[in-house]
């Protein structure tokens, strides 16, 4: 029975080089008070000058960019195959004229890393979304011909106005045509003001535990409300972190749609595909939720045959220096084993068989 990790990131050397050349977020740099350690500063607000330089962002070591370390991590955690993806913030920040070339270079780099470990690595590509739509469409077409690519990872900003922007329609059409799955992943979180004036005392907890999942939930709700899946009925989207909070809130979302006089008057409450239909037809959910409660909600929303194991490596490493196994990974394993304790076929599906089938992995 294969174990497949579909939520696992890399910053390939070409991307780290790009971040090292920058001085505004996102960037990689050393600080005078700790010149031996580079820090990765990617999240909005992470380089707030009121934060000591040694607590800004996170230290970046080879686990972020060295593919051999990914394989070692997979071996430690009994993962047969990983579908690697560039981590946030992808290419969102690049000037329009640089994005197309950067996407080609980075996608080729990642495809080449996969080629070094046949059968063990596949990838989700990245799109040049700050470039004109035609450039992104050309990359979608090119990715369809790269041997190890099994979809694209995308953030929630789209072309700058979010995923309900009608200007994305040609891109959605190209993705649907090439049967390219979108792995939708958060990065921007919520405005810092919602975390309050004491936010600095709480580290990354509020933005990562709540900001990330709510960002995903809002992005996917906006896609639904704008009728993306009514126009692109075959568009497939894999949602990070078990869909943010969508499985839990889907009923409330649907009820709010049905009770909205403005939508009713505009004729938008009838003849549309509802959230439950889309959850079971177009959406896949990863199993990166660390508890049985969340995983059961995901299973009830989309079905056990649409859930896929993930780790979020290299994020959330153990804080103990000598730990070998990662608590974050074992929490996801254990949520799967308790949720599916009486259904081994479903457990094996979530751990790997679903990924093999859905992503056509040639194991
Ligand atoms: N933090 C990030 O910035 N990205 C992830 O994928 C996980 C944690
Ligand atoms: Zn992630």
The DSSP code sequence of 210-229 is IIHHHHHHHHHHHHHHTTHH
157: in domain: yes
CA dihedral of residues 239, 240, 245, 251 (deg, nearest 10): 10
Residue whose entry in the numeric block shows the structure tokens 């049967």: 179
User: What is the chain's Cα-based Rg?
Assistant: 20
Domain count, the chain: 1
**Which residues lie near ion ligand 2 (Cβ < 5 Å)?**
312
* Residue 363 belongs to a domain: no
Rounded Cα distance, 99 and 122, in Å: 23
Among the listed residues 118, 88, 85, 91, the one whose alpha carbon sits nearest the alpha carbon of residue 104: 91
Q: Cα of 214 to ligand 2 centre, how many Å?
A: 14
Instruction: Using the predicted structure, report yes or no on whether residue 356 has a pLDDT greater than 90.
Output: yes
**How far is residue 146's CA from residue 164's CA, in Å, rounded to a whole number?**
28
3-state DSSP percent of the chain in helix, strand and coil, to 5: 45, 15, 40
- Ligand 1 atom at shortest distance from the alpha carbon of 9: 6
Residues with CB under 6 A from ligand 1: 9, 42-43, 87-88, 208, 312, 315
Distance 264 CA to ligand 2 centre (A): 37
Of 11, 87, 93, the one to substitute when testing ligand 1's pocket (max ligand atoms within 8 A of C-beta) is 87
Question: What's the order of all strands across the beta sheet hosting 121-126?
Answer: 4-10, 81-86, 121-126, 149-154, 182-184, 237-239, 283-286, 307-308
Q: What is the pLDDT of residues 84-100, one digit of tens each?
A: 999 999 999 999 999 99
Nearest ligand 1 atom to alpha carbon 204:
1
The residue whose CB lies within 8 Å of the most ligand 1 atoms, and thus the one to mutate among 10, 25, 315, is 315
**Nearest ligand 1 atom to alpha carbon 7:** 6
Pocket perturbation via mutation, ligand 1, pick of 46, 124, 212 by most ligand atoms within 8 A of CB: 212
ipTM of the complex: 0.96
> What is the distance in A from the centroid of ligand 2 to the CA of 63?
14
Q: Is the pTM of this model over 0.80?
A: yes
8 alpha carbon – ligand 2 mean position (Å): 6
Domain for residue 95, yes or no?
Answer: yes
- Give me the domain span that covers residue 17: 4-358
Query: Position of tokens 């992104």?
Result: 136
The 10s digit of each residue's pLDDT in 141-171 is 999 999 999 999 999 999 999 999 999 999 9
Between the CA of 101 and the centroid of ligand 2 the distance, in Å, is 24
Q: Which atom of ligand 1 is nearest to the CA of 43?
A: 3
Strands (E), the chain: 4-10, 27-31, 34-41, 58-59, 81-86, 121-126, 149-154, 182-184, 237-239, 283-286, 307-308
Q: Report the pLDDT value the prediction gives residue 363, as an integer from 0 to 100.
A: 58
Cα(66)–Cα(177) distance, rounded to whole angstroms?
Answer: 34
Say how many Å lie between the CA of residue 316 and the centre of ligand 1: 8
What is the CA(59)–ligand 1 centre distance, in A?
A: 13
* Residue with token string 């992005």: 219
The end-to-end CA distance of the chain, in Å, is: 10
Closest residue (by CA) to atom 4 of ligand 1?
88
Ligand nearest to the CA of 239: 2
**pLDDT in the model for residue 86:** 98
CATH code of the domain containing 209? 3.20.20.140
Least confident of 28-42, 239-253, 264-278: 28-42
- Residue 293 covered by a domain: yes
Asked if 274 and 252 count as a contact pair (C-beta separation under 8 A), the reply is no
Express each pLDDT in 2-58 by its tens digit: 999 999 999 999 999 999 999 999 999 988 888 888 999 998 788 888 777 777 889
Cα angle 358-178-235, degrees, rounded to a multiple of 5: 65
Please give the Cα distance from 118 to 223 (Å, whole number). 36
Whole-number average pLDDT of the chain:
96
- SS3 state at 119: coil
């Amino acid at each position: 029975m294969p174990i497949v990790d579909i939520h696992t990131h890399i910053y390939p050397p070409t991307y780290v080089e790009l971040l090292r050349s920058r001085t505004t977020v996102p960037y990689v740099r050393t600080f005078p008070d700790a010149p031996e350690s580079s820090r990765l500063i990617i999240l909005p607000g992470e380089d707030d000058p009121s934060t000591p330089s040694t607590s800004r962002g996170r230290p970046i070591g080879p686990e972020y960019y060295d593919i051999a370390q990914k394989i070692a991590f997979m071996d430690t955690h009994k993962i047969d195959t990983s579908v690697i993806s560039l981590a946030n913030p992808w290419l969102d920040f690049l000037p329009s004229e640089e994005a197309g070339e950067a996407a080609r270079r980075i996608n080729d780099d990642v495809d080449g890393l996969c080629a070094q470990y046949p059968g063990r690595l596949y990838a989700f590509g990245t799109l040049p979304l700050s470039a004109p739509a035609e450039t992104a469409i050309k990359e979608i077409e090119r990715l369809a011909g790269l041997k190890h690519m099994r979809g694209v990872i995308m953030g929630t900003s789209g072309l700058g106005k979010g995923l309900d922007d009608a200007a994305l329609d040609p891109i959605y059409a190209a993705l649907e045509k090439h049967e390219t799955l979108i792995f939708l992943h958060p990065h921007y979180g919520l405005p810092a003001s919602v975390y309050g004036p004491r936010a600095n005392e709480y580290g990354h907890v509020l933005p990562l535990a709540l900001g990330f999942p709510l960002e995903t939930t809002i992005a996917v709700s906006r896609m639904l409300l704008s009728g993306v899946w009514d126009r692109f009925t075959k568009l497939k989207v894999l949602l990070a972190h078990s869909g943010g909070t969508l499985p839990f809130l889907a009923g409330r979302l649907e009820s709010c749609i049905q009770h909205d006089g403005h939508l009713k008057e505009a004729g938008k409450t009838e003849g549309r595909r509802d959230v439950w239909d889309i959850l079971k037809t177009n959406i896949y959910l990863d199993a990166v939720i660390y508890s049985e409660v969340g995983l059961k909600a995901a299973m009830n929303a989309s079905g056990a045959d649409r859930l896929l194991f993930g780790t979020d490596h290299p994020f959330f490493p153990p804080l103990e220096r000598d730990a070998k196994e990662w608590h974050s990974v074992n929490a996801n394993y254990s949520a799967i084993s308790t949720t599916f304790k009486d259904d081994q076929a479903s457990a094996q599906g979530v751990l790997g068989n679903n990924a093999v089938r859905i992503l056509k992995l040639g194991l």
